A and B are shown apart, each in its own frame.
Chain A
Amino acid sequence: MHVTHRIVSKRQLSEEVFRMEIEAPYIAQERKAGQFVIVQYDQEYSERIPLTIADADPDRGTITLIFQTVGASTHRLALKEPGDEVIVLGPLGNPTHIENFGWAVCVGGGIGLAPLYPIARALKDAGNRLTVISGARTRDLLIMQEELAAVADEHIVVTDDGSFGRKALVTAPLEELCRRTPPPDIVVAIGPPIMMKFCAQTTRPFGVKTLVSLNTIMIDGTGMCGGCRVTVGDKVKFVCVDGPEFDGHLVDWDNMLSRLGAYRQQEQTAHEQCHLEMQLRTLQEERS
């Protein structure tokens, strides 16, 4: 049965961030900015991990995923090497609606910079004037900087600890941009949920339309489980089939954040277990 996809290359971008290029000719051909895939590191026991597509090369028939090792499953995925096979389903979700809005501001935080890049590029290609705000906890976690700088008309970089660019949160420059006259025509914010929540809060008083891309808990990614449901403007939406992008001003952030934490305790246990296994493996390798 044909099911797997070969990893073509792997690069570690920082201590926690990996970039993988995977053979997936159909997905490379069909995917559009804003879509995601579900990845499994094996067929029997792997969790289904939703990851946004950072880039694709239809000629080579490959897609590029950039992910952070936040839990046991992403750790196991990071252990895979070029030549290994993984399971990939996609492209999932609705593509970003791209048009010439005028002035577009793209805000990316940490790993969110990866999915932000194809959207930024598509907005630029559609004729928008493009400002990019890149933010991360620290310098090492700033990714896709060359690519983003190449498409942005204006590129603002901030870090929480000031190790690179301005020492600030992304919301500080975002607010300054909103105060300009005229303000941005559209803001796209992708990053940790808490960052997206505060970006939406920042733009709300200025009435600047703000799209966010939600990365909720999901299993199948095709509408079947409903685990990804969020409340958007008093309506229940499924991130996998109705999203992943929504109007940030309408998302019920507190509910979304609490749903994201549904399995926190089990995730922590699994994560610790995974680290123990990795340490054990390193010890065994050293001995042999």
Chain B
Amino acid sequence: MTHRTDMNMDPASLELAKWRSTPLTPRTRLQIPAQDMPCQDPAVRRANMQEVALGYTPAQAMLEAERCLQCKNAPCIAGCPVRVDIPAFIGKIKEGDFLEAARIIKRTNLLPSICGRVCPQEKQCQEPCTVGKALGGVEKAVQIGRLERFVADYERAQGAVDIPRVPASTGKRVAIVGAGPAGLTCAADVRREGHEVTIFEAFHKVGGVMVYGIPEFRLPKALVAAEAQVLETMGVSFELSFLVGRTRPLLSLLQKDGFDAVFIGTGAGLPKFMDIPGENLVGVFSANEYLTRANLMKAYERGKAGTPIYPSRRVAVLGGGNVAMDAARMALRLGAEEVRVLYRRTRDEMPARAEEVEHAMEEGIIFDFLKSPTRVLGDDTGRVAALEVLSYELGEPDESGRRRPVPIRGSETIIPFDTVIVAIGNESNPLISRTTPELKVDRHGHILVDERQKTSIERVYAGGDIVLGSATVILAMGEGRRAAAAINEILQ
């Protein structure tokens, strides 16, 4: 973290003083430009794993906070899946009381340093922001995510992270299956009521998608470890490399091991492939595999890591979401000469965070819009040599409201590649449902829950991607929180 703490050295503090020299009115607040977040130079960062975005300085944060109109109806709160009191925390930033700002966020969001970095704010809190609406573009909205990240980082840098108080033990025990965003949130909320909590995690590290999927350059692993540390300090136990369903049947936790309730937050975990010829050739990877090798298994630390990574020169990434951006940028950092993202629609329809697409473009990732492969072609040793690619044009809107891509007949071309990374989403992992036949799932294998996250089995709750399909960190946290409230109620 490179916060420049000396306010006098920061040009933003002069700016701030200038704007504050006369009383600010809604009119003048709208004239303050949205503050860009300092970033590593694209030419430098494309060759390192360090975090791309460097975060606001205190003066920048205060200046950005002054843009907020403190709307009485607070449309931003309604846009936040966990209903953070956004105007209140921004108000505290204006006053320079960053620690209080952090406390306000943490009333409803346990992981602000993570959400500030990975939430799709332009589709959530910033989307309905009055400032953005008034200025005619969501990119001009108050930069709520950057402010959230700033206060969370400030709190940690000050060593002022407060650990939620845990009352005396109730003697009730709750098992959490999966140490990702849903599980960690649920664990914290249940622990705060004084129940004993054990988190079971299949991997050897805590964090789920935040450690295996999202790369270091977008979400430093030290942040995830710090959040896990908070839970440990609160008295939450962790059983790592423990696969509920295999190491121990789910129902044994309730029937034999003395747990009073279970929360399942196992995530999305079965990568989808394109179902095109040649997809099993050597050099075709799911984004899950590629990113897990690089992130969790640290394949980028060559010479130290036992897990190898494929030596790539020309990489095709298929898909347009955050995972596709992560895979493309990771491939670049691992030494690929050319990385192309192939997406069936156009930039406007891409589900990835706007900032990640921008960052990827700055780093030199090439985007081939309106293109999708029809075949993977191999060489005589069974390795990827090229993709056959079909071009599309946009037709009428489909049920998702996005214009449907229509293939252009006879437009197939062959583009040489040695690596193909498939990032088109996940299906639900069948492990828990196959080993727990009593658990009801829908036809896609997602666990069925009621409005309080309860499954078809008494005392068993579920949330996050195993219920939602592929969603986001913050939505998973919202579900974990809802489940925790229900669990706390039945354990009263």
Contacts and interface: CB of A to CB of B under 8 A. Distances in A.
A47 B310 contact: no
Contacts of A73: 306
A225 B289 contact: yes
Contacts of B241: 3, 87-89
B307 A47 contact: yes
A220 B289 CA distance: 9
Interface string B196-217: 0000001111100000100000
Interface stretch (B116-124, B278-286, B386-394): B278-286
B455 interface: no
Contacts of A230: 280
Interface residues of A, number: 50
* Among A3, A30, A273, residue most surrounded by chain B Cβ atoms (within 10 Å): A3
A31 to B, nearest CB: 9
Nearest to B238: A1
A48 B240 CA distance: 14
A248 to B, nearest CB: 18
B206 A1 contact: yes
A227 B271 CA distance: 10
Interface stretch (A155-163, A191-199, A259-267): A259-267
Interface in B253-306: 269-271, 273, 279-283, 285-286, 288-289, 292-293, 297-298, 301, 303-306
Contact of B308 (A88, A220, A263): A263
Contacts of B248: 26, 30
Nearest to B428: A223
Contacts of A267: 308
B431 interface: yes
B262 to A, nearest CB: 16
User: Which range contains the number of B residues in contact with the other chain?
Assistant: 35 or more
Given A226-B271, A231-B280, A270-B306, A2 B239 contact: yes
A91 B246 contact: yes
Given A2-B237, A47-B297, A223 B307 contact: no
Interface in A250-276: 252, 254-255, 258-259, 261-263, 265-267, 270, 273
A45 B306 contact: yes
A12 interface: no
Contacts of A3: 204, 238-241
Contacts of A89: 202, 204, 241-243, 247
A229 B247 CA distance: 23
B430 interface: yes
Given A47-B297, A224-B269, A241-B434, 20 more contacts: A2-B237, A26-B242, A26-B248, A30-B247, A45-B301, A45-B304, A89-B242, A91-B247, A220-B292, A222-B431, A224-B212, A224-B288, A224-B429, A225-B289, A227-B289, A229-B280, A258-B382, A259-B280, A262-B310, A266-B311
26 contacts: A30-B246, A30-B248, A47-B305, A47-B306, A72-B306, A89-B202, A219-B293, A220-B202, A220-B292, A223-B269, A223-B429, A223-B430, A224-B212, A225-B271, A225-B288, A226-B271, A236-B273, A241-B430, A241-B431, A241-B434, A252-B280, A258-B282, A259-B382, A262-B283, A263-B310, A267-B308
In the complex, the 7 A-B pairs of residues with the closest C-beta atoms, listed nearest first? A258-B382, A47-B306, A225-B289, A266-B308, A3-B240, A226-B286, A1-B238
